[in-house]
Structure 1
Amino acid sequence: MPHDSVDEKDLELINALQLSPRASWAQLGRALALDPVTVARRWEQLNEAGLAWVTCVVGPALHSEFCMAYIEIECIPDRLDDTATALSAEPQVRYVHHLTGPYDLLAVAALRTPAEVSAYLRGTVGRLPGVRAYRAQMRTVGYSEPSRWRLRSLERSQQRALEPAGAPSATVGGARVDTVDRELYRLLHEDGRMSYAELADRAGISEPTARRRVKRLLAHRLLRLRCEMAQSLSGWPDSAVLWASVASQHLEATARSLTTLPDVRLCCALTGERNLLMMVWLRSLGDLPQLEATLTERSRHLCIVDRAACLHTVKQMGRLLDSEGRSVGHVPPNAEVFLGA
């Protein structure tokens, strides 16, 4: 499915699945004024072309249960591709970005404890043949994550059509996970819209059990579904990483104010002097200076100390991406890191 065959209805469908990743074809059809069969066919084409997909990530209730390390890596020039490929094959590594600047790669790895981060840096990252040097910081607080980013293709009336009637409010924590839950996480990471029948068959449980467990994991915010798309389709084809310094007493308020900006896809606090990181999507790299001006106008306490353009996102939450941002492969997650052994 070539890019030029994607139309506004396809973008509306992606936006609808960002809002309600497991909505039925009938519900999606009502929101988009399309026949459910047509909706299913359009999604199948987008998905098979790697232009859009639904995946599963660990929810907020478990964010304190593991460590996220942001690792900047300086590569030997002719080994950069080898290093990026090796890192992308690691289930602990969630993202790999090729950046401008002295550090060629930014890898984001998830492990259970700081000690495991230390062992991973020394035993894996530091021993890769293409790595000349690296430095790492730990995430302390996540203020905004990519699952909250929206296309904004739908009218408000269409959004309301996707809201489930009488849906129970989400609850945080209070639920234990086991091997079946971890298997469901792996399967939903592969395809967040996998049917309950297929989930049940592949997890070796009954369909009612699969349905009940998935709903519990989502309701307790242990897992979160999200619809992703090739960045080249989004209207924001360029991206950059910004590092800022904010006095600790102003960090929370500053970060919260920045997450409302439509260009900010990720915002988190880090250890170290550069204690705030933002990943931004841009309509063009020429918009970056104006965005920086907007950020600093929002808070007089923020000082942007470094920035890098993202040349290629090699891996994104377990998906291997080509130069256009299309999904061309999948690396299963290490569920035990997130949901316990």
Structure 2
Amino acid sequence: MKYVDEYREPQKGEILLREIETLSKKLNRRIKIMEVCGGHTHSIFKYGIEDALPETIELIHGPGCPVCVMPKGKLDDAIAIAKHPNVIFTTFGDTMRVPGSKSSLLQASSEGADIRMVYSPLDSLQIARDNPNKEIVFFGIGFETTAPSTAYTIKQAFSENLHNFSLFSNHVLVIPALQALLDNPDLQLDGFVGPGHVSMVIGCNPYNFIAKDYNIPIVISGFEPVDILQSIWMLLQQLIQNRCEVENQYSRVVQTQGNIQAITAMNEVFEVRFEFEWRGLGYIPSSGLKIRPKYARFDTEAKFAIPNNQVADHKACQCGEILKGVLKPWQCKVFGTACTPENPIGTCMVSNEGACAAYYKYGRLSISK
């Protein structure tokens, strides 16, 4: 890729839309495609892709936003850790306003907890070096996209023999989540737009089971409008040709085998949990990462008594149904009224990659599909 503008050219988009229109007429039925990644959801709303597609093609917004799938109980745990008097709690900025059952990290900060936003877990490590008499906790969230950088940070802390740094690991894995979605009989899909950033780490092969066992095609996609349109076109080609494969549209970034160094670092530092709770999806087996015994002294869960409470979502919030693709954002009872980016009730309205926040921001309120 020379310039990002190549993937935003209106002329290319128009050609692809005409081709998609032709293919959809040949199929002559309604097609449901799920984009897994929240980054794709953001681009789809930002560039009006859903509005431009034929009415027979429906895009379903999946659970690929790591902030959105975080249950309230995990936020309550994070807040409880942050309120310890000797703790400096560090986190990415997009978790600050995520509502727990009674509060948020932002509110806890305003009440005196030492909570600091960082751009990288390595920033947290530097805070640990600068504050040897404090316990520094990093709130590790995200899919395989962010887990490698966290793993390298743990390895660095190990090499420096730091004793005041730990990780509250809430990293999750995309493949078990897709498995859980595919096993849901209420969700009938014709194809997946696969996550580009996760695939940059894990590669293409882990998705083979989708095509082999569920007979559903998947195209790993980039994030620009031409990327997404081309991926939809590739999916329609597979459907017309009765093929069912894993294809890689994002070949300028994603390699079939993935990033071997990143995978090796993750496997060295982390092991898979027996199960992990996801907002809207419940407990999914083998879907979260915890720290291996070798690095146990950097495990926040071993250093602190953590409540680990299960907290039900707000009764009016339907984030769970949105994350599962059962509802669209505007079908939630409180969307755009009681729940806004300024006063979010659910996680889908907090994160920039959340479907509700993206839809609200770009104002696509002409709901015709």
- Using structure 1 for the length normalisation, give the TM-score: 0.30
- Highest relative contact order (Cα 8 Å, sep 6+), 1 or 2? 1
Q: Tell me which protein shows more strand as a share of its residues.
A: 1
Q: Using structure 2 for the length normalisation, give the TM-score.
A: 0.29
